[in-house]
Amino acid sequence: MAASNINVATVQQAIPPIPVPSQWWCRWQALKGTNPRHLKPPEADLRNKWVLLTGGNSGIGFEAAAQFVKWGANIVLGCRPQVPPHEMHPDEAIQQLKAASIAAGHPKAGIEWWECDMNSLKSVEAFGKRWISMGRPLDILANNAGIGGPLVPGEVCYTADGFEIVHQVNFISHVLLSMMLLPSLAQATQPRIICTTSCMQYFGVFDLANANSGRNAYPNNKLYFQTWLTELQARMENHAKYKHIMIQGVHPGYVKTNIWVAPQSTTSENTTQQNTRPPKTRFMSWLEWSLRVLLRYYGIDPQQGSLAITNAAAAADLASGSRYTNRIWEEKPMPQTMHPACRHQVWQFVSEELLLEDRGLLTELGA
């Protein structure tokens, strides 16, 4: 299942020339992500709706969950059972969410957490199967869990599945979960898939050889995630069973959350560290420095960042088509995300990585 089985050279040969935006355009688009305007959540009624949200025990995920329960939603958080000191334990998160739901007048809402460690494909698959076994339609899937970088800065960390950790946690684990839950989403009347991508996609380099290398891992995988979800939407629109499902990538803003905390304490049995140090370029040094400056002067709090997720879940004008939004405002994503050949190649690449055909998850949308 490891990425080394993928013939990247063959995949890349099929990609025709694509528009390459200028660095100035990319930087300008990324700077739009710094908009710190204070926003109010939309009005919504999610009573009798079911939400699955990964990474919901801290940061923008917890704040989004808090808004969902205030709207009356039933919610299941997908969380790691072992959390680092800077994160709230899922048990505490659930207690706070239940209190918020009761205070909002929804004492009977279902609120719980299930184990879902994005470092482990086995854990993600078990989480998806557990939901499917409930036999309920799924109204909202929020693919939110993520990390800011490798466990040890400057080193490459691989999961037990053989994938570089940022590639797996921020991208392909969400692909696996989404593909597993499509039939359940299809049973809902207005289902939505919300993916926390990022304006960092504008600093990504579309070169599938870098997907698992650890180089520029965060921007690259956000670019691939936005590209993949656009291809998924196109395939669903051509299938009667799935064409009513909306999928969207969202940039929450430059949010001051613990995703940027040095995560050495998150090492688990599902990860291994290697003394492989990808070369740091001047570009990456400039990027890291810029992020610190932007967070300092334009950073918003997690509640404001969470509105990207809750708005995508509730706004009526986002009911169809794949989109990318900077907080709540629609923006142009990187051109590769809209390029048919690039979309196809990312789809093929990740499908082979995850053995989606062998898992029986490409029978309807794989052609």
Radius of gyration for the alpha carbons in the chain, expressed in angstroms and rounded: 19
**357 sits in which H/E element:** none
Write out the two tokens for 110. Answer: 């279902």
Give CA–CA dist 192/185, Å, rounded. Answer: 8
Residue 205 clears pLDDT 60, i.e. is over it: yes
What's the pLDDT at 320?
56
Those residues whose C-beta lies under 8 Å from the C-beta of residue 289, and which sit 6 or more positions away, are none
Give CA–CA dist 350/168, Å, rounded. Answer: 10
Domain topology for 25-261+282-358 = Rossmann fold (3.40.50)
Give CA–CA dist 362/367, Å, rounded. Answer: 8
**326 sits in which H/E element:** strand 323-326
Q: Which residues of 53-82 are buried (b: 16+ CB within 10 A; e: fewer)?
A: bbbbbbbbbbbbbbbbbbbbbbbbbbbbee
Helix residue ranges per DSSP H, 4-48: 8-13, 23-32
What's the pLDDT at 317?
66
**3 state DSSP class of 321:** coil
Give the full edge-to-edge strand order of the sheet including 192-196: 111-115, 74-79, 50-54, 140-143, 192-196, 246-251, 323-326, 329-330
Give CA–CA dist 70/100, Å, rounded. Answer: 6
pLDDT digits (tens, 9 = 90+) for 48-101: 999 999 999 999 999 999 999 999 999 999 999 988 888 899 999 999 999 999
Global confidence as pTM = 0.89
> Where are the domains positioned within the chain?
25-261+282-358
pLDDT band of residue 20 (cuts 50, 70, 90) is: confident
pLDDT band of residue 269 (cuts 50, 70, 90) is: low
Give CA–CA dist 298/294, Å, rounded. Answer: 5
Residue with more model confidence, 318 or 232? 232
pLDDT digits (tens, 9 = 90+) for 184-204: 999 999 999 999 999 999 999
Look up residue 107 and give its DSSP letter: T
The rounded mean pLDDT for the chain is 88
